[in-house]
Amino acid sequence: MSINKRTIVLTSLIILSVLLSGCGLLGGKEKEKIDPPQTVTYTDDGQVVEETAGEEVAEEEASEGSVMTELYLFDKNGYVVPQTFSLPKTESVAKQALDYLIEGGPITEMLPNGFTAVLPADTEVSVNITDNTAIVDFSNEFKNYKPENELKILEAVTWTLTQFDSVENVALKLNGHELNEMPVAGTPIGKTVSRANGINLDTTDVVDITNTKAATVYYVAGDEGSYYYVPVTRRVAENNIEGVVAELVKGPSHSSTLLNDFSPDVELLEEPKVEDGKVTLNFNEFIYGSFEEKVISEHVLNMLVLSLTEQNGIESVEVMVEGEAELVKENGEKLVEPVTRPEKVNTISF
């Protein structure tokens, strides 16, 4: 069977570049929910002064002297993609994350196939965090990038830094001077940027900007045995939950290299219900896709959870099919609880 934009050959996805839940796939362990550390406190320069792990996974990481960190890198098709690495435990986690984005830096021997660093070689960086804003000061080498990569670099820096609880906005400097626009092609920055500016922007077929909102959805990329999830910001209708589901069913742009596992006939049978951070979705039977049995694919489940938990107030997703709540996952286990977003995306395993 060949892979196209509507059908993906589903594999066990237990090796490189997959969405892990601890050490297994999202939904692949009995415990669906992964809680992040309960308390992480940073100083103004991004140094960790207190960290209280709320789960065994976090405690294990601390004991091993490492911390799981998302780095937004370029894939072979030019998308900005999160990959999660186990990095040495440090007091300056924000600065370390940016250091690992530099070409020729410590990330070099860790890059998955087809991925590249985003910051020019020999760039030096400092980070000062104050009032939920990370102020990043780059050395002059920062300007040594291709103009066509400018917006992607801005997105990679912004999304890498805003993974930390203490950072909501990012401001840039070059040799101590504030940047209101990027230094090569002049991409506007203003005072700060945030995740609200989007990532891998796709305005294909957008007719009405005024009556739509930006929403980030996740599609699949990669090859058999090494799939990963790519965030794409698109314009959706005012009701973001239904709009996000519609974009997932619609699939990525035909000109892209991204993949989708949703049948085009998937429909919601009723309006999504949101209560206490949980959204309940009731689909028709086409949510099962090409499975002969009533099984929901890992890709479909992962894309739903990653995309919907990007929405404010959504913490977990419950999937129903024609009113039935107990679905079966690919590994044969019943999906008996709502699924929450894993702490990190596309975790690398060595």
Mean pLDDT of the 12-19 span: 35
The tens digit of pLDDT for each residue in 42-70 reads 344 444 444 333 333 333 444 368 999 99
Mean pLDDT of the 26-44 span: 34
- pLDDT (0 to 100) of residue 207: 62
- pLDDT (0 to 100) of residue 292: 65
Cβ neighbours of residue 215 closer than 8 Å, sequence gap 6 or more: 233, 234, 235, 236, 240, 243, 244, 247, 307, 310, 311
Helix and strand element counts for the chain (H, E): 5, 19
Q: What is the chain's mean pLDDT, rounded?
A: 83
Domain boundaries, the chain: 68-196
The tens digit of pLDDT for each residue in 150-179 reads 999 999 999 999 999 999 999 999 999 999
The tens digit of pLDDT for each residue in 235-284 reads 887 778 999 999 999 999 988 999 999 999 999 999 999 999 999 999 99
Mean pLDDT of the 63-83 span: 92
Dist CA 21 CA 107 (whole Å): 23
Q: Kindly report the pTM of this predicted structure.
A: 0.80
The most confident of 51-65, 94-108, 206-220, 239-253, by mean pLDDT: 94-108
The tens digit of pLDDT for each residue in 281-337 reads 999 999 998 776 789 999 999 999 999 999 999 999 999 999 988 788 888 888 889
Longest Cα separation, the chain: 61
Count CA atoms within 13 Å of residue 209 on its CB side.
3
